[in-house]
Amino acid sequence: MARVADERQSLFSFFKDQLRPRGKLITPFNVISIPVIIAGVIILFFRFTQGLGATTNLSQQNPWGIWIGFDVVTGVAFAGGAYVLTFAVYVMRMDKFHPIIRATVLNGFLAYVFYAGALVFDLGRPWHVINPVIGNAFGYNSVLFLVAWHFMLYMTAEFVEFSPVITEWLGLKKARRVANSLTLAAVILGISLSTLHQSGLGALFLMAKPKIHPLWYSEFIPIFFFVSSIFAGISMVIFESTISHRVFKMQMGPGSHERLNEIIIGLARGATIAMFVYYFFKALIFIHDDQWALIKGFWGAWYLTEVLGFVLVPMVLFAYGSRHKAVGIIKIAAVLTLIGVLLNRLNISVIAFNWNVADKYIPHWMEIVVTLTVVFSEIWIFRWIVNRMPVMREPGALGSPNRKRELQSLN
């Protein structure tokens, strides 16, 4: 009885200790992000009490804005690195990518929680978000029904993939064994779900054929979304691991810099092949649909900027960088690719959407603040977890230092 009380007390003091802020409070990131998050929370209060009209420029003509175009459609593509990397590590047994797998899965999980969660902001009647779960007008003919279920199941799968880290943090040996044994099943389920919902997001736009500029519309949008999520995810992993490596340098062991460079070169090879396949599809659709006449004018130039400047150029840079082990060039290619995917998703969902109407949608400043709030909040949570759980540290050591000391004092 006394032991249970001691254990409870130890757990309480452990969590109290973990909640204490770590590191400096005044940093450039904190100075920028804290006011934005506060403003975003206030705007969201008005959005949920006054409705969409009070805080957005959305209308019946333009029902989807940047909350869908950036947060959901682009954010989910950027989170694609988790399924690509878990496939490479757990299915293809490419162990060299293992050191970054935990950070990638965490990033993917948080991206889904925050970006897919942002769907709620955009629903006119947000309480209906529960409908696909409780069976109140299932709407199983809708692509959104598939996307909703896939998001929920994928978030669960990613949580299971990440759960060994949580058990290590808490020092729970038996639970860790169980969590480890579930990982492979969760990975396989996660990959299957990803292939379908990444393309499912593209399928949402199939019904908007008259609204999307013909250079961006195709019956193959779902395939484009899926293939582009592969290199978008890989580029995000390169970008995120480069920044994490600097910010959390203290947590990494010796030789981590060389290991990261090798990983980045390997990722660049994968991105090159995925981009090459994407480029082929793009060219094939262009020729098949006989779109030569559309290339003239502003929209043609805008399309070529996206396809040549942000797909072909980074693809060549990735190939060159991986061939000559030029990590700096690969990082530039990753940033260009991220911009390219962002452009492509925004073109389909916002910029080239309703391209021929007079009442063109321009995001309200409050929509932009809320979008930044979502991004900054995700980074805050990511940082909080990485500073406490064994995400960047060498895997295997059970328990955080404090938790270990407490458990030892009980034994």
Partner 1 sequence: METYSYVNIFETKGLEYILLICFMVMMVLLFRYMRAGMRDKS
Residues contributing to the site for partner 1 (CB under 8 A): 269, 272-273, 276, 280, 283-284, 287-288, 290, 319, 322-325
**242 burial class (0-12, 13-18, 19+ CB within 10 angstroms)?**
middle
Q: How far apart are CA 128 and CA 137, in angstroms?
A: 10
Least distance between partner 1 and beta carbon 225 (Å): 20
Q: Which is nearer to partner 1, 295 or 397 (CB)?
A: 295
Farthest CA pair distance, the chain: 81
- Using CA atoms, how far residue 240 sits from 27, 55, 226, 236, 338, in Å, is 19, 31, 21, 6, 11
211/269 with CB nearer partner 1: 269
Cβ closest to partner 1, residue 128 vs residue 288: 288
Q: For residue 270, what are its two tokens?
A: 């994968």
Alpha-carbon distance 339 to 177, whole Å?
A: 41
Instruction: Find the shortest distance in angstroms from Cβ 277 to partner 1.
Output: 9
**Identity of the residue, 30 or 261, whose beta carbon is nearer to partner 1 in the bound complex:** 261
Distance CA 311, CA 277 (A): 11
CB atoms within 10 A of CB 308: 12
- Write out the DSSP string of 212-271: B-TTT--TTHHHHHHHHHHHHHHHHHHHHHHHHHHHTGGGS-TTHHHHHHHHHHHHHHHH
238 vs 104: CA distance, rounded Å:
10
Residue type at 183 in one-letter notation:
T
Nearer to partner 1, 173 or 288 (CB): 288
Q: CA quadruple 52, 54, 59, 63: dihedral positive or negative?
A: negative
113 CB-side CA count, 13 A? 15
Q: How far is the CB of 290 from partner 1 (least distance, A)?
A: 7
> Which CA distances in Å does 345 have to 245, 293, 333?
28, 23, 18
Q: Which is nearer to partner 1, 94 or 175 (CB)?
A: 94
CA–CA separation, 278 and 282 (whole Å): 6
Q: How far is the CB of 279 from partner 1 (least distance, A)?
A: 9
Of 258 and 298, which CB lies nearer to partner 1 in the complex structure? 258
Identify which of 202, 198, 205 has the alpha carbon closest to the alpha carbon of residue 222. 202
- What are 283's two structure tokens? 């060219």
Closer of 232 and 319 to partner 1 (Cβ): 319
76 versus 267: smaller Cβ distance to partner 1: 267
Closer to partner 1 by CB, 128 or 325: give it: 325
Nearer to partner 1, 17 or 95 (CB): 95
At residue 167, φ and ψ (nearest 5 deg) are -65, -35
CA dihedral 26, 28, 33, 35 (to 10 degrees): 60
**Unique residue bearing structure tokens 């409705």:** 51
Q: Decide: helix, strand or coil at residue 313.
A: helix
Q: Nearest distance from residue 257's CB to partner 1, in Å?
A: 17
* Closest-CA residue to 345 (of 12, 33, 27, 80): 80
